[in-house]
Amino acid sequence: MALRLSVVVAGSRPQGPPEGLFRALHSLLQSGDAELLIVTARPEAQAPWPGTRVITCVRGTTVPAMRLAGVCAASAPLIAVTEDFCAPAEGWAEALLEARERLDASVLGGPVARHCGSSAEWALTFIEYGRYFRREPEGQVTDLPSINVAYDAERLRAALPASAKGIFEVELHTWMRAHGGCFWRVPGALMLDENKTLLGCATRTQYHHGRLFGGGRVQGRSLWVRLARAAVAPAVPAMLLGRIMREAGAAGQLGKVLRCLPALLLLLGAWSIGEAVGSLFGPGQSGERWT
């Protein structure tokens, strides 16, 4: 049977991808319908199943660079990209493949959910993926989550410049939308966030993501623009918290938000500080921390 799906899993967490990832893909790997590419800087990583390949990167390789390495090595006409803290729900791959058979979409993807974890872990999930918790009907959308997205391989490679050093979903999706790419939500393709993160580590991560974002927004801009963006950065936590609460309420998860509110405020504050620093001084080395 012809290969139909390549699944690229990027990340270097010591424990590697969760067992649920392999359970969800096992039958497709066995039949030859799918291949699994684990892209990591862990030198001890091994292929756990037939149909699995491990691409070992040098220590310090960033997640965007790992994504690119996996996409370059993928062989199927549909390339799904996720990270090594994610586990697809039952039927995830089948839902993506069924949608591809009947749709001419550049990008397919589905919702994100979390079933358990500490307050810090829930808070991080709400910040990163809370806007994708809603179980909305199938249809065209403006964006899809970076941990639950599948690209038409030909269109994806056409969208990547020859000089690309990684796959940065914000820039990539902006380019694809501007060039007429259709983003299609597949409700049955559910991805579970199983990230296990200590609060201190999550706080540092949010600071660096905020600095990377802030620095990217002011590249080539005047000092006055930088100062203005730094000045409004303290308002970011309130704005983001309001959005998170709206989205969580719509998804029936408002109680979870309230229970993790202290951790959520800490992480949003760290993002705000990082965005202010990035606005003033640029991204620094924050992009290299995304491993």
CA distances from 54 to 71, 84, 142 (A): 13, 13, 32
| Sequence spans of domains, the chain | 5-110+145-193, 199-289
Q: pTM (2 decimals)?
A: 0.92
Q: What is the mean pLDDT of residues 211-238?
A: 87
Mean of per-residue pLDDT scores for the chain = 92
CATH pick for 5-110+145-193 out of 3.40.50.720, 2.60.120.1440, 3.90.550.10, 2.60.130.10 = 3.90.550.10
Report the range of poorest mean pLDDT among 42-56, 75-89, 133-147, 243-257: 42-56
Task: State the pLDDT at residue 43.
Answer: 83
Look at the block and give the residue holding tokens 């309230």.
258
pLDDT tens string 150-205 = 999 999 999 999 899 999 999 999 999 999 999 999 999 999 999 998 899 999 99
The secondary structure of 203-258, three-state, reads: HHHHHHHHHHHHHHHCCCCCHHHHHHHHHHHHHHHHHHHHHHHHHHHHCCCHHHHH
Beta-bridge partner residues of 5: 34, 78
Q: Is 104 exposed, middle or buried (0-12, 13-18, 19+ CB in 10 A)?
A: exposed
Q: What is the mean pLDDT of residues 8-37?
A: 91
pLDDT tens string 61-107 = 999 999 999 999 999 999 999 999 999 999 999 999 999 999 999 99
Beta-bridge partner residues of 54: 38
Task: State the pLDDT at residue 193.
Answer: 96
Q: What is the mean pLDDT of residues 128-137?
A: 90
Q: What are phi and psi of 239, to 5 degrees?
A: -65, -45
* High-pLDDT (> 90) share of the chain, %: 70
